[in-house]
Structure 1
Amino acid sequence: MSSRSGRPWLLVLDIAIPVALFYGLRAAGVSNVTALLISTVPALVSSVASLVRQRRADLVSTAVIFSLVGSAVIAWLGGDARILLVRGAWISLPFAGVTLWSLRHPQPLCYTFTRAVMPRRAAVMDRLYDEDPRFRLAWRRITVLWGIFSIIDAVLRVVLTYTLPLSVVPALEPIITVATIVALQVPTHVLLRRSGTIHLVFGPRRFVDQLERS
């Protein structure tokens, strides 16, 4: 459930290019801190461009910008490259808090976020959310899972960053990111499948048309 999931080239810009930049700069003799600072530029540019293109605040892009800028300033002032390497945790932990807090509201974050990135299914999702208790329960459980997994993701990043050699961590960061996203797709789809509505959210358009005509 990411605004970047429909644009694979953004994943390359945010993940592959920064890693290649870091190791390329290190091979050229650049210091760890400088290499990490430069390698954050593609993701920063991508996030700023996303905000400009959408002309509205985007939770993911805003969080990425704040984590990149904040960790860059602290790392530059303190000269600690590992602070830059745990920037992913600066996103995961606040995201976990906001996600779990959203359970206090009528519509949890995972539902509202998915609805926002799938505007063509918004009307159907709203109808299901209003009329189908199983659909509402599925999204609340999905939100709990995303919150818990985000906490685990943050803790794992911090532990690995401060226990493994610094040269290894940049290569592990994208692996953790992709693994977390992929791992969360399984319970998300299982819960929606059990509610009997997965084909209406992610399936072919004809299923949605049938519901709208009913």
Structure 2
Amino acid sequence: MTASARTLALDIAAPLALFYGLRAAGAGDVPALVVGAVPPALNVLVTAIRDRSVEALAIGVLFGTVLGVLGALLGGGPRELLARGAWFSAPAGLWALATLRRPRPLCYEVTRAVMPRRAALMDRLWDTDERFRAAWRTITICWGLATLVDSAIRVVMAYGLPVALVPALDTVLTIVTIVVLQVPTHLLIRRTGHWHSVFGPLRRPGHAR
């Protein structure tokens, strides 16, 4: 199973299936949400063991899950579990903006990490092209601010909407946020003239130029 397929299955499909399946079977909201939170946490742990490293974003996912579970089990009810996404996304957005003060911003580093075959090229462009560096800083601002807005929306949904609706809407919000943020990401890199090099198909060895 590829990393993207595993993420889709464990972080999106499994929590929804478990929550709505358990509720249909008569389980309460808290048990259903607790069980539904297990697959994403397992995905983080399996990835950390396999790669022998733990990324800050993965720690945030696990931390938010643990906080939500503890809050629910200590009497807070299901809404603390529903809000766990905000407890992750808000710090993630702030961290993204904070990395603007570092030599390389978060969005550049994450993209470089998930596309290792482009890493050397991206490093070369980073070192030689100011427009390329400025584009990634702007992209990181877009993702950081959007993540903070995403967090605020999740809090409103978690505490203001019927419990049964929130898991599905959370998933929709995640997908919409990611899809919408592709627009400034790809547009800004295209404006640098390096979109094909970074996001285009890889040339096969020996392929004619």
Q: Which deviations, in whole Å up to 9, do the C-alpha atoms of 1:82-120 show, x marking residues without a partner?
A: 000011111111111110001111211111111111111
Stretches of 4+ moved more than 4 A in 1?
207-210
Task: Give the aligned residue type for 2:45.
Answer: V
Q: In structure 2, which of residues 135, 139, 156 is the aligned counterpart of residue 142 of structure 1? A: 139
CA distance in 2: counterparts of 1:208 and 1:177, whole angstroms: 37
Counterpart in the other structure of 1:153: 150
**Alignment length, in residue pairs?**
207
Map 1:17-166 to 2 at 5 A.
17-166=14-163
Percent identity at matched positions?
51
Counterpart in the other structure of 1:173: 170
Give the TM-score of the pair, scaled to structure 1.
Answer: 0.91
CA distance in 1: counterparts of 2:102 and 2:136, whole angstroms: 12
CA distance in 1: counterparts of 2:39 and 2:85, whole angstroms: 15
Indicate conservation of the 8 Å contact 1:50/1:61, yes or no: no
Q: In structure 2, which of residues 171, 177, 202 is the aligned counterpart of residue 205 of structure 1? A: 202
Give the 3-state SS of the residue equivalent to 1:167 in structure 2.
helix
CA distance in 1: counterparts of 2:204 and 2:93, whole angstroms: 33
Range moving further from structure 2, 131-140 or 8-17:
8-17
Deviation at 1:79, TM superposition (A): 4.0
CA distance in 2: counterparts of 1:113 and 1:135, whole angstroms: 15
CA distance in 2: counterparts of 1:66 and 1:208, whole angstroms: 43
Give the 3-state SS of the residue equivalent to 2:163 in structure 1.
coil
Gaps of 5+ in 2: none
Question: Cα RMSD over matched residues?
Answer: 2.0
Range moving further from structure 2, 129-138 or 55-64:
55-64
Gaps of 5+ in 1: none
CA distance in 1: counterparts of 2:35 and 2:95, whole angstroms: 30
CA distance in 1: counterparts of 2:62 and 2:100, whole angstroms: 25
Give the TM-score of the pair, scaled to structure 2.
Answer: 0.93
Give the 3-state SS of the residue equivalent to 2:131 in structure 1.
helix
